[in-house]
Amino acid sequence: MTDPRLTPLAASLPPTVPFTGPEALERRMGRPFAARMGANENAFGPSPKAIEAMERTARDVWMYGDPEVYDLRVAMAAHHGCDPSHVVVGEGIDGLLGLLVRLTVGPGTPVVTSLGGYPTFNFHVAGFGGRLLTVPYHGDASDPVALMHLAEESSARLVYLSNPDNPMGGFHGPEVIGRMVEAVPDGALLVLDEAYAELAPEGLLPSIDPADPRVIRMRTFSKAHGLAGLRVGYAIGPAPLVAAFDRVRNHFGLGRIAQAGALAALADRDWPREVAGRVAQARDGIAAIARAAGLVPLPSAANFVTIDCGADGAFARRVLGGLLGRGVFVRMPGVAPLDRCIRVTVGPPEALRAFAEALPLALAEARSAP
């Protein structure tokens, strides 16, 4: 039954969320997962310096956090070599995407993204009545040329691209992204989701002027910094657009502990590099497990490996179900032909061992199903 007080738009939306959390799955199963390898979290954890800062700040949690997030914003601006007027902080990239859509998208506004790309962006566009237009992946990669052509044809307001890509793990180099920026139509905005930036190979990311009115870049403390539970993200973009976030953002949305933890994490330049090394090693481990099982791992610049199961989406879903039933939490892309794959987040050696033990059994079960 739908509450009659909802707006027509809200009443028309499906009662779903972009992701089912591992906690919900554990409640259904009645037991915890042995290996949590599906949410693209950083199982190697945050910097010890960030943990110390959060512990110190816990005694002050009776106070609201600074609504201007001043210290963290200034530190991030210095980190990226720009003025703080180009930086806005929010409750993760997901929260910032919601605010951006709220600022720029109304009923019927055309928005362009990749078919099968990050679903939370689509969730926000639908929530504000936007008209979502999609471009299929080209092979296993998003298609920048087709995205920009569709943006031009449709007079799109936003064009979304994750780079490195979620859910497939690949990336486009700086030359490709530079051509995308040059192709942004008048009145449009390229939304670059760079959640996995610190885990990508050296020299992958383009150099973009923060004042460029055609681009806004999203970053997070959830991946390389290991602070997913704090929900701290930030965007770098033109000052007038960044200033507009103040009109709609939750000014007390980022608590004192979150601000302190992120500030200390940003100051520890060594920890993300150490994590990136561990992630690369674990990616190689997952790829080796996949190959040993006769599957094909796709190249990845993120903290997960997407594995081609060699058949269709129905088969991949059976494999995924077999892994879940054996206590290994993974996810998969939701749109064909990407859904022939499963997506496995990197983790410590014990997680990889659990995956290595469960995968052959899940495959055998999937192949024997009628």
- CATH classification at residue 300: 3.90.1150.10
Q: Is residue 3 part of a domain?
A: no
Asked if pLDDT for residue 133 goes beyond 90, the answer is yes
pLDDT classification of 357: cutoffs 50, 70, 90: very high
- As a whole number of angstroms, the distance between CA 108 and CA 114 comes to 18
Q: Is residue 229 part of a domain?
A: yes
Is residue 89 located within the same domain as residue 138? yes
244, 267, 290 — which closes off a domain?
267
State mean pLDDT over 299-321.
97
Q: Is residue 117 part of a domain?
A: yes
Report pLDDT for 182: 96
pLDDT classification of 279: cutoffs 50, 70, 90: very high
Whether the CB-CB separation of 132 and 147 falls below 8 Å is answered with no
Q: Which residue has the tokens 């539970």?
A: 229
- As a whole number of angstroms, the distance between CA 320 and CA 314 comes to 10
Q: Is residue 132 part of a domain?
A: yes
Is residue 129 located within the same domain as residue 253? yes
Q: Which residue has the tokens 């290991």?
A: 226
Q: Is residue 1 part of a domain?
A: no
Report pLDDT for 369: 83
Is residue 32 located within the same domain as residue 149? no
* Element spanning 128, H or E: none
DSSP string, 58-116: GGGTTSPPPTT-HHHHHHHHHHHTS-GGGEEEESHHHHHHHHHHHHH--TT-EEEEETT
User: 237-250, pLDDT tens digit by residue?
Assistant: 999 999 999 999 99
Counted domains in the chain: 2
Asked if pLDDT for residue 218 goes beyond 90, the answer is yes
Sort strands 304-308 and 296-297 into parallel, antiparallel or unpaired: antiparallel
Q: Is residue 121 part of a domain?
A: yes
Asked if pLDDT for residue 294 goes beyond 90, the answer is yes
Which residues pair with residue 111 across a beta bridge?
132, 158
* Segments forming the whole domain that contains residue 153: 48-267
Is residue 241 located within the same domain as residue 317? no
Q: Which tokens is 45 given?
A: 């954890």
Is residue 93 located within the same domain as residue 207? yes
User: 145-202, pLDDT tens digit by residue?
Assistant: 999 999 999 999 999 999 999 999 999 999 999 999 999 999 999 999 999 999 988 8
Report pLDDT for 1: 73
Report pLDDT for 275: 96
- Distance in Å from the first CA to the final CA of the chain: 37
Asked if pLDDT for residue 206 goes beyond 80, the answer is yes
State mean pLDDT over 134-154.
97
Q: Which tokens is 55 given?
A: 């512990």
Q: Is residue 2 part of a domain?
A: no
pLDDT classification of 257: cutoffs 50, 70, 90: very high
Q: What is the pTM of this model?
A: 0.94
User: 77-132, pLDDT tens digit by residue?
Assistant: 999 999 999 999 999 999 999 999 999 999 999 999 999 999 999 999 999 999 99
Asked if pLDDT for residue 370 goes beyond 90, the answer is no
Report pLDDT for 15: 84
- Phi/psi for 220 (5° steps) reads -145, 160
Q: What is the DSSP letter of 157?
A: S
Share of the chain above pLDDT 90, in %: 93
Is residue 251 located within the same domain as residue 153? yes
What is the phi-psi region of residue 282: left when phi exceeds 0, alpha when psi lies from -120 to 50, beta otherwise? Answer: alpha
Sort strands 189-193 and 158-162 into parallel, antiparallel or unpaired: parallel
Which residues pair with residue 110 across a beta bridge?
131
Average pLDDT for the chain: 96
Is residue 215 located within the same domain as residue 126? yes
Report pLDDT for 14: 87
> Which 3 state secondary structure label does DSSP give 234?
strand
Whether the CB-CB separation of 130 and 110 falls below 8 Å is answered with yes
Which residues pair with residue 162 across a beta bridge?
193
246, 267, 288 — which closes off a domain?
267
267, 287, 309 — which closes off a domain?
267
Asked if pLDDT for residue 74 goes beyond 90, the answer is yes
Q: Which tokens is 143 given?
A: 């298609």
Is residue 170 located within the same domain as residue 95? yes
